[in-house]
C-alpha cells in the first residue's frame, strides 16, 4: 500500500489541486452571475418605483385634476429604462444613447352613463324605436344596438403637460439657481384619471 501511494501521490496531489481550483473558479463565476442578477433586479425595482411614485394631486377649474411630480435626473437614460421601455424605443426607431428625456403617462378611463333611445336613428333603419340606445357629450359617443348587440364607443381626450423649473433661492420677487424640475399634467376628459407619470431626463 505504501509503495502504491509513493508511486501515485504526485498524481493524486495534482488531481486534488485541480479540483480545488475548479471549485474556486466555479464559486467566483457563480457569485458574479448571482451579483449581476441581483443588480438587474434592483435596477428593475428602481425603475418601477420611479414609474409609480405617488403623485401630488390638485384640482383646478373646480373639477379638473392636475398631477405634479418631480422630474428624475439621471446620468444616462438607459439606467432607469425597463426592458419594456427599451423594446418600445427600439420599435420606434429611437437610439437610447441619443434620448435626452423620456416620459410615460398611464391613464384609466371609466364612465357610468344613462343610455336613451335614439328615435330618429332607429326610424331610419325601421327597427323598433328603442333598439338603438345612445349617449353623447363632448368627450364620449356611445351607441348600443339592442337588435344586433353591437356596441360602439368613441372617447376623446386632451392632455396638457408643463415642465416647470424649481428655483434654488428666492428673495422677494428675485429667483435664481436651479433646484430641480417638476412636471405638471392634466387630462381635460372628465372620465380619465392619470394613474402615474414618469419623466426622466439627462443631467446637465
The reply to whether 59 and 17 lie within a common domain is: no
Entry pTM? 0.62
Strand locations in the chain (E):
56-60, 64-70, 72-74, 101-109, 116-117, 132-136, 140-145, 150-155, 159-171, 174-187, 192-202
More confident residue, 125 or 77: 77
pLDDT recorded at residue 185: 93
Q: Range of 39's domain? A: 1-51
Which of 51, 68, 83 terminates a domain? The answer is 51
pLDDT recorded at residue 4: 52
The reply to whether 113 and 184 lie within a common domain is: yes
Decide the pairing of beta strands 64-70 and 56-60: antiparallel
Per-residue model confidence as pLDDT tens digits over 129-156: 557 888 888 999 998 888 888 889 898 9
Strand locations in 61-131 (E):
64-70, 72-74, 101-109, 116-117
The reply to whether 119 and 153 lie within a common domain is: yes
- Average pLDDT for the chain: 78
The reply to whether 137 and 202 lie within a common domain is: yes
The reply to whether 194 and 99 lie within a common domain is: yes
The reply to whether 43 and 100 lie within a common domain is: no
pLDDT recorded at residue 169: 80
The reply to whether 32 and 78 lie within a common domain is: no
User: In which band, very low, low, confident or very high, does the pLDDT at 184 lie, cut at 50, 70 and 90?
Assistant: very high
When divided into structural domains, the chain yields a total of 2
The reply to whether 189 and 148 lie within a common domain is: yes
The reply to whether 69 and 127 lie within a common domain is: yes
81 has a pLDDT exceeding 80: yes
The reply to whether 58 and 26 lie within a common domain is: no
Question: CA-CA distance, 121 to 131, in Å (whole number)?
Answer: 10
pLDDT recorded at residue 3: 56
pLDDT recorded at residue 160: 92
Per-residue model confidence as pLDDT tens digits over 5-39: 555 556 666 676 667 766 666 665 555 566 666 65
> Strand, helix or coil at 114?
coil
pLDDT recorded at residue 25: 62
Q: How far, in whole angstroms, is CA 174 from its chain's centroid?
A: 37
The reply to whether 72 and 166 lie within a common domain is: yes
pLDDT recorded at residue 187: 92
Under 8 Å between Cβ of 163 and 183: yes
The reply to whether 70 and 27 lie within a common domain is: no
pLDDT recorded at residue 44: 60
Amino acid at each position: 500500500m505504501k509503495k502504491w501511494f509513493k508511486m501515485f501521490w504526485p498524481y493524486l496531489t495534482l488531481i486534488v489541486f485541480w479540483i480545488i481550483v475548479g471549485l474556486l473558479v466555479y464559486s467566483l463565476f457563480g457569485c458574479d452571475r448571482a451579483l449581476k442578477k441581483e443588480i438587474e433586479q434592483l435596477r428593475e425595482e428602481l425603475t418601477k418605483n420611479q414609474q409609480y411614485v405617488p403623485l401630488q394631486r390638485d384640482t383646478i377649474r373646480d373639477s379638473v385634476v392636475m398631477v405634479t411630480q418631480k422630474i428624475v435626473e439621471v446620468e444616462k437614460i438607459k439606467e432607469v429604462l425597463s426592458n419594456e421601455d427599451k423594446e418600445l424605443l427600439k420599435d420606434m426607431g429611437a437610439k437610447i444613447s441619443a434620448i435626452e428625456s423620456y416620459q410615460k403617462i398611464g391613464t384609466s378611463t371609466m364612465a357610468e352613463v344613462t343610455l336613451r333611445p335614439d328615435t330618429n336613428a332607429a326610424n331610419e333603419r325601421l327597427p323598433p324605436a328603442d333598439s338603438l340606445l345612445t349617449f353623447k357629450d363632448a368627450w364620449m359617443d356611445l351607441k348600443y344596438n339592442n337588435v344586433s348587440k353591437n356596441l360602439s364607443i368613441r372617447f376623446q381626450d386632451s392632455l396638457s403637460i408643463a415642465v416647470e423649473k424649481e428655483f434654488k433661492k428666492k428673495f422677494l420677487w428675485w429667483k435664481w439657481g436651479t433646484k430641480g424640475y417638476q412636471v405638471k399634467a392634466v387630462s381635460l376628459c372628465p372620465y380619465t384619471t392619470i394613474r402615474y407619470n414618469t419623466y426622466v431626463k439627462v443631467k446637465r
